Amino acid sequence: MGAITVTPIAGALGAEIGGIDLSLPLQAEDISAMRAALLQHLVIFFRDQKLTSEQYMAFAKAFGEPVEYPLINGIDGFPFITEIVKREDDKANFGGIWHADTTYLECPPMGSILYLTEVPPDGGGDTLFANMYRAYETLSEPIKKMLTGLTALHDSSKAHYYRVKATDRDDIKFPNAEHPIVRTHPVTGKQGLYVNRGFTLRIPQLRRNESDALLEMLYRHIETPEFQCRFKWQPNSVAFWDNRCAQHHAMFDYYPHRRYGHRVTVCGDKPFHRA
């Protein structure tokens, strides 16, 4: 194993990590270097990684405690690993909207790790990522002042609408939570926007029409191309993003081809805002 390399892929965020085989036991200095790269670049990528489920879990555990993904069962023997599969006949796109993962939880995950082993044969299926630090920093001062102290309600039923009327699981629950619109990163101390089209419902401190208008403005701002990077998947690639300060969007431009992989999420903490 050679020295780890960190190569940025865009000005806003994202870096490819080289010089490491994730199937081997990780050394403390390698974990430290990858953690630093994640904090600096918000999302890090690895190529040509062939991982068993055990090795995949060992990599995730080096950065925190894996947690089960709500409303989706894990694979056999590994409850923390969920399938990410798009079959040839699937026409719906899971994840095809800007979002951070499971913001409807009281303690959303610190990060998510996606490992794809099968990708469309002719390209397509890229994932876009966006920097929520930059989204906040580029707002005008009057808007920043207005957002101070505001919270947003996040609800899983917004994204899992197809399960709301499900009858095959009578005990199904749809978590929801209230978080500050401006979130302070617990490690870097930086401020970032923390609302997303996927799960955010409304701002309880405002009237409905005011909430809708403000959220739509923030969503469009978050989707500014200059805040983004784009990752082109290859077989056996890994993406690891900081769910506290980055959003992502899965492109669906490869029908009728197949895309397959696994995802693990790593435990996080309750969002807060510290001025």
Q: Give the pLDDT confidence of 3-26 residue by residue, as tens digits.
A: 899 999 999 999 999 999 999 999
For the sheet with 246-250, list strands across it.
228-231, 127-131, 246-250
Q: What is the average pLDDT value for the chain, to the nearest integer?
A: 93
Active site (annotated) includes residue 257: no
Choose, from 41, 99, 179, 262, the residue flagged as catalytic: 99
Which helix (H) or strand (E) is 241 found in, with range? strand 237-242
Choose, from 183, 248, 259, 262, the residue flagged as catalytic: 248
User: Residue 1: what pLDDT?
Assistant: 46
Q: Does 202 fall in a domain?
A: yes
Provide, rounded to the nearest whole percent, the portion of the chain with pLDDT above 90.
Answer: 84
Q: Does 230 fall in a domain?
A: yes
User: Residue 164: what pLDDT?
Assistant: 47
CB-CB contact of 24 with 1 (8 Å):
yes
Q: Does 146 fall in a domain?
A: yes
DSSP assignment, residue 149?
T
Q: Where are the alpha helices (DSSP H) in 9-101?
A: 28-41, 53-61
Q: Is 55 helix (H, G, I), strand (E, B) or coil?
A: helix
Q: Does 273 fall in a domain?
A: no
- CA-nearest of 245, 232, 242 to 265 is 242
Q: Which amino acid is at 78?
A: F
Choose, from 41, 134, 262, 263, the residue flagged as catalytic: 263
Choose, from 101, 155, 160, 183, the residue flagged as catalytic: 101
CA–CA separation, 43 and 270 (whole Å): 20
The span from the first CA to the last CA of the chain, in angstroms, equals 43
Active site (annotated) includes residue 269: no
CA distances from 100 to 29, 136, 139, 156, 207 (A): 29, 15, 20, 12, 25
> For residue 26, what is the domain's CATH number?
3.60.130.10
Q: Does 274 fall in a domain?
A: no
Count of structural domains within the chain: 1
Active site (annotated) includes residue 263: yes
CA distances from 131 to 74, 138, 149, 227 (A): 29, 11, 22, 5
Q: Does 272 fall in a domain?
A: no
Q: Does 271 fall in a domain?
A: no
Model confidence at 56: pLDDT above 90: yes
Active site (annotated) includes residue 154: no
- CA-nearest of 200, 164, 206 to 183 is 200
Q: What is the pLDDT of residues 121-176, one digit of tens each?
A: 888 999 999 999 999 999 999 999 999 999 999 999 876 554 445 555 455 577 89
Q: Does 125 fall in a domain?
A: yes
For the entire predicted model, the pTM comes to: 0.93
Residue 245: domain span:
5-266
Mean pLDDT of 69-75: 90
